[in-house]
Structure 1
Amino acid sequence: MSFQFTLQKVMQVREREKNQGQAEYQKAIDQFEKVATKLYELLKKKESLEERARKQISVGTSIYELQQNQNEMMRLQQEIQLHQRETQRARDKMSMKEQDFLQKAIECKKYEKMKQLKENEFIEEEKRKEAVQMDEISIQLFAKR
């Protein structure tokens, strides 16, 4: 007689939920990396724009070019602020998905542990039954002599 875990279907559902949670977590990580990379690029662009403005001031430039630089700097600053909020939202979502995934993984582990314990109990019971049968056979053989 082979071992049949009574909660096998529940365990399979939990396993699918865990895998889905892991996929969602990975998707959230990818989204966060994408948004954070864009923010990094904007910050680098702002840094180079500031450097260019300092050089223009030291060399001397027209007021029009300074105004253009200032406008570009303000636009870039607004875009950076927007991406900072977006990055924070992506970070929060990633953290939430991680917690969800970890919870599902723990739940899945519980069922795996339960299955292992039940299987061990089954094996021990089978060994006990086999020992009882062997005892009965040896008693019968002894009684026939």
Structure 2
Amino acid sequence: MQYQFKFNKILKIKEREKEQVFDVYNQAVKRFEETAKKLYDLLKKKEDLEEYQQSRLAEGLPVQEIRHHQHFVHSLEKTIDHYLKMVANARNQMNFQKEKLMEKNIEVKKYEKMQEKDLAVFLESMKQAEGRQMDDISIQLYMNRGN
């Protein structure tokens, strides 16, 4: 007799769902990392620009150039604010996908645990059936010797 888990198809479906959710989670992590890197680059750019402006102010620079720098920094700050929101959204999406992945993982683990228990019961019943067969064979051998 061959072992067949009665919920094998469901287990396979749950594993496929888990793999799909894992792929979506990886995409969310990648989006978060890309957005966070872009934010970091913008912050670094702003910092470098402010350092450059401070060094230029020490040397003395025209008012028009100061206005130009202020306008550029203001525009950069708007972009940074936009990316801060994008990073927060990407982080929330990543955390949401992580939760979904954990739920799917738990579902799969439940079915795997059921399979383990079912297999243990099957093996025990096979062992008992084998023991009964051995007893029957022993009884028949004993009976045949007596005749």
Q: Quickly name the TM-score band, shorter chain normalised.
A: over 0.9
Q: Identical aligned pairs, as a percentage?
A: 38
Q: Aligned-residue CA RMSD in angstroms?
A: 0.6
Distance of 1:21 and 1:112 partners within structure 2: 18
User: Which residue in the other structure is 1:86 paired with?
Assistant: 86
Q: Deviations over 1:45-98 (max 9, x none)?
A: 000010011011110000000000000000000000000000000000000000
User: Which residue in the other structure is 1:57 paired with?
Assistant: 57
Q: Provide the secondary structure at the position in 2 that maps to 1:6.
A: coil
Q: Deviations over 1:8-40 (max 9, x none)?
A: 111011000000010000000000000000000
User: Which residue in the other structure is 2:34 paired with?
Assistant: 34
Q: AA paired with 2:77? A: Q
Write out aligned runs for 1:58-137 (5 A): 58-137=58-137
Distance of 1:134 and 1:30 partners within structure 2: 61
Q: What TM-score, normalized to structure 2?
A: 0.97
List structure 1 segments (4+ residues) > 6 angstroms apart after TM superposition.
Answer: none
Q: AA paired with 2:95? A: S
Structure 1: stretches of 5+ with no match in the other structure: none
